[in-house]
Amino acid sequence: MKIISVFNNKGGVGKSTLSFHLGKALGLMGKKVLFVDLDPQCNLTISAMRENELENIWEEENPYIDDFEDTKDKNSQGFVKIMNKTRSIHFLLKPTEDGINDIEQLPPARTVSENVYMIPGRLSIHQFENKISERWSGLYQSDNLSIRTITCIRRLCERYAEILDIDYVLVDTSPSLGILNKTIISTVDGFIIPAQPDMFSLYGIRNIGNSLDSWGKELEVIYRLISEEKREKFPKKFVQFIGYTLYNAKKYDGDNEYQLADAHYSYAKRIPQIINQYIKSANKIKVDDIDMPIAGGAIIHTHNTYPSVAQALKCAMWEVPEVFTKLQQTEPQYLQEQMIDVNRGSFGRYRDIKDKYVEFATDLIKRTEAL
């Protein structure tokens, strides 16, 4: 099992869209995937479930987010009932946040599709981030609660992976370089950078590299101060760089291998140099084409409005024709309310997208074998 994050310091690069479609492609290939949504914006979550379903999850959890132990003690039967249903990531982290015992028996993850599962996000995750800030310094004193707080996301991933026989956990994050992402990235196995071919992505990669350097050095000090037993709660190696992909780029009939406009192509060619210069603390996996985008040019071009249509339908882009046709028969009112209309003449183009993501997922599998 590998825990992987799709991460960039620049927002708007299609990080959640890439994560969702990568997971769905891996599922098609027979790999079992768990999405964990740790981005407060919850874009990955709303790619897979309708807002009213998510609202119901949050509504049930609200008293526990306010005071987990007191609510549980006052309504033990109610606790048993809600634990039989999917819970958000913040709910699952709340016992650690409050310094009480972890949940003994985990609630079920939500089934997204065959082989694909999800732990939904929650806007209130900033409360857990605040607790990380308070407890981080305790790592230097080998404080048990501090270590438990910093490693509990990884621990949850491992527990669900064991229950569901997961091959890949895909963790979605915000573009921030704050302490929540510091904790996430420092305790996953590897990460991918999706990058648009522009100046902002180049600077985002620089920022990631500088932060990784700082985080890696800090953890080296912490590991020397804690016991071997406590060290085992962290990954054996500091996070590794799996690769990057050009993503959400405008397609032009340019005279280059990526079919980009000259200005964008010049930035695309600089990305490997920036990665080699700044991504140093995270060891790069040893594959021959590490300086090339994952799967070459398979998924680099923008899909225009297709991702927004797929998100509204709660499916992958290549599933849009079937899902849209079914909803026309079963829930036409939902399509009207969401103002979703799909031209049947574009069905073929939607379906063709699947092969591109399978190609991307195939290369990713090869690369993760080197982790």
> pLDDT tens digit string along 39-51?
999 999 999 999 9
Rg over alpha carbons for the chain, rounded to the nearest Å, is 21
Distance CA 263, CA 105 (A): 54
Q: Which two tokens stand for residue 19?
A: 């994560």
Average pLDDT of the chain to the nearest whole number: 94
Task: With a cut of 80, say whether residue 82 has pLDDT above it.
Answer: yes
Kindly report, residue by residue over 137-160, the tens digit of the pLDDT.
999 999 999 999 999 999 999 999
**What is the residue whose two structure tokens read 């929540």?**
180
Distance CA 41, CA 265 (A): 31
Contacts for 236 with CB less than 8 Å, ≥ 6 apart: none
CA dihedral over 228, 230, 233, 238, signed as positive or negative:
negative
Is the Cβ–Cβ distance between 120 and 35 less than 8 Å?
Answer: no
Kindly report, residue by residue over 228-256, the tens digit of the pLDDT.
999 999 999 999 999 999 998 888 877 88
Residue 285: per-residue pLDDT: 83
**Other Cβ atoms closer than 10 A to 333:** 9
Distance CA 195, CA 192 (A): 10
Q: What is the mean pLDDT of residues 347-371?
A: 96
Kindly report, residue by residue over 310-346, the tens digit of the pLDDT.
999 999 999 999 999 999 999 999 999 999 999 999 9
Of 142, 168, 165, the closest CA to residue 34 belongs to 168
Q: Which helix (H) or strand (E) holds 6?
A: strand 2-6
Distance CA 138, CA 144 (A): 8
Backbone angles phi, psi at 123, to 5 degrees: -60, -25
Q: Is the pTM of this model over 0.85?
A: yes
42: left (phi over 0), alpha (psi -120 to 50) or beta: left
Question: What length is written for the chain?
Answer: 371
Kindly report, residue by residue over 262-271, the tens digit of the pLDDT.
889 999 999 9
Q: Which two tokens stand for residue 231?
A: 């060290």
Q: Could you give the angle at the alpha carbon of 95 between the alpha carbons of 93 and 101, nearest 5°?
A: 125
